Amino acid sequence: MWPLALSLRPKHASPMPGQTLPPHIQGMLSPQAYPHPVDGVELRQTHISYLFFAGDVVYKVKKPLDLGFLDFTTLERRRHFCEEEVRLNRRLCQETYLGVVPVALVGGEVRVDGEGEVIDYAVKMRRLPEEGMMTRLLERNAVTPELLGRLAQRIADFHASSERSDEIDRLGGLEIAMLNWRENFEQSQPYVGRTIHRRQFQEIQTFVDAVAERDAGLFELRVREGRARDCHGDLRADAICFQDEGVCIFDCIEFNERFRYSDVAADIAFLAMDLEYRGRRDLSDELLGRYLAAALDATLPLVLPFYKCYRAYVRGKVDGFQLDQPEVDEAQKAQAAEAARRYFTLAHAYATQPTPRALIITVGVTGSGKSYLANALAARLGAIVLSSDVVRKRLMGIDPRERRIEPIDTGIYSPEVSERTYRALLDEARPWLERGKPVLLDASFLQRAHRRAALRLANESDAIFLAMECEADESLVWERLSERQGERRVVSDGRWEVYQTQQERREPVDELPIGSHMVVETARPLRAQIDSVLEHLGLAG
């Protein structure tokens, strides 16, 4: 089972019909209960918490529940999980989580952070600005690529620095993921025919079982690569706030490590799924493309359909639970049923998404938008993405993010190293193609010989082949390269003189079979670029 709502600003936050508040919760509605001036107190609820909005501060008290996946039934356990909530959420929202304070009886009156008989504990938080909440920005169509770039970098940095351990590796692998899936199927069985069609239920099961049988080695590889981490666990749009001082990501899972210890793909997949559920696939494309550029996680797209399906299925299951809760009125049950059906339909779409054996290469000069398109397309297609910039520096024993500004045709950019790089790209692509996976090679491929070698590999692997030639006006290239010079942790060393040299040396794409080459204008919106490629491949956008 999954938490029904975990947000500082939940959608359904009013008291349950007919619900009687515990005496100390009733007492916390009084402005006199607080150690700072408060004009009025607003109570909001989730299924597991009470939230008191008292001026510029929010206090969160956990309900004394035992739901199986959490246990807040004792005062000591509530204190412990309040402290865990502060500790864990400070990783991504340091200034918001102020600490844990007692709720005490002082002279028979409830006092927050008072000295008396402690009857409960509360997480004390700085109130976040409403106008910065991602959900509000989505409503105003104000989430920009720049904001998503900040968010993606924040999440990638968090994943790179979050804790690893043997226990995290154990819980973050395929075995536990399949345990979670089995629980999902068992718990959603009563809703087959109500919120999920039987065919959807069966085809999602078939998809999950096929992934487990076919890709066990891939999941093991990701654990060995360190992709299992102490993650956020509940990464949705309503847990994100954009502020001048940075991006605050709050409300992580504190009560169950099994829900938080996971592959990082499960974390970013949750937010991508949430955006797609809200009808913003364009923003999901931007987010995932930028995250991949920041994280340099080549195999993440291969597991994205699995984890996006999981996240959508869980949300559908949880919304469906409300249909059998007597405290939920009929209007809310109808809304929950519709939401559940939409989530299950989305999960089914992920489970039945076509992933053909294909080799796609980018063609273009530096600054033409190759990598930007390649990462986002790989995420949408579920393809491993291999970058010549990363492979080149790895071959030379250099950190991929280390800038190496060297004279043209020298050092790591000598013709000899370039030839090694292209050979390595094809060598790394071959085993994935043989396993039936789509592969996207992010490199310039300006020479016919390199393109012909890629085509041979596709033919030998019985894979679809496509060369995406990325084009942009010179003024746009200049703008992109100028911006890149001021950025940190950029893999590409491209600059204006490299662009000019590549333009002089590029060989026209006139050697490939009809249908295996297309031109993509990268000044167009990212989603339009991706959809045009998928349409060329005969795949649904």
pLDDT band at 527 (very low <50, low <70, confident <90, very high): very high
More confident site: 399 or 343: 343
pLDDT band at 134 (very low <50, low <70, confident <90, very high): very high
Question: Structure pTM?
Answer: 0.91
The dihedral region occupied by 113, where left means phi > 0, alpha psi between -120 and 50, and beta the remainder, is: left
Confirm if 289 and 379 have CB atoms less than 8 A apart.
yes
Residue-averaged pLDDT of the chain: 92
User: pLDDT for 144-183, tens place per residue?
Assistant: 999 999 999 999 999 999 999 999 999 999 999 999 999 9
What pLDDT score was predicted for residue 332? 85
pLDDT for residue 370: 95
DSSP 82: H
Closest to 401 in 3D by CA, of 493, 511, 514, 502: 493
pLDDT score, position 13: 36
Query: Residue 422 and residue 247: Cα distance in Å, rounded?
Result: 38
Radius of gyration of the chain (CA): 26
pLDDT tens-digit readout, 77-94: 999 999 999 999 999 999
Question: Which pLDDT band holds residue 2 (cuts at 50, 70, 90)?
Answer: very low
Q: What percent of the chain has pLDDT over 90?
A: 81
- pLDDT at 406 (0 to 100): 80
For the cut 80, the answer to whether the pLDDT of residue 493 exceeds it is no
At 12, is the pLDDT very low, low, confident or very high (cuts 50, 70, 90)?
very low
How high is the pLDDT of residue 488?
Answer: 56
**Structure-model confidence comparison of residues 349 and 484, the more confident one:** 349
| pLDDT tens-digit readout, 276-329 | 999 999 999 999 999 999 999 999 999 999 999 999 999 999 898 888 877 678
Where does 481-538 show beta strands of DSSP type E?
517-521
261-263 and 439-442 beta bridge pairing:
unpaired
Please, which pLDDT band fits residue 495 given cuts at 50, 70 and 90? confident
pLDDT of residue 487: 61
The CA-atom distances, in angstroms, between 359 and each of 145, 154, 175, 511, 515 are 28, 31, 30, 17, 14
Is residue 510 over pLDDT 80? yes
Contact status, residue 64 vs residue 78, Cβ threshold 8 Å: yes
**97 close to 89: Cβ distance less than 8 angstroms:** yes
CA triple 313-225-353, angle to 5 deg? 35
Beta strands (DSSP E) in 33-90 are: 41-45, 49-54, 57-62
Q: What is the pLDDT of residue 490?
A: 62
Is the pLDDT confidence value at 425 over 60?
Answer: yes
Residue 277 has what pLDDT?
A: 98
pLDDT bucket at 486, cuts 50 / 70 / 90: low
pLDDT at 288: 98
What are the Cα distances from residue 537, in Å, to 138, 239, 358, 446, 469? 31, 36, 9, 22, 14
Domains and CATH numbers, the chain: 23-127 (no CATH), 134-351 (3.90.1200.10), 358-537 (3.40.50.300)
Percent of the chain scored above 70 by pLDDT? Answer: 94
Q: How confident is the model at residue 16 (pLDDT cuts 50, 70, 90)?
A: very low
How do residues 54-74 score in pLDDT, each as one tens digit? 999 999 999 999 888 889 999
pLDDT at 67: 82
Residues 6+ apart with CB under 8 A from 339: 315, 316, 319
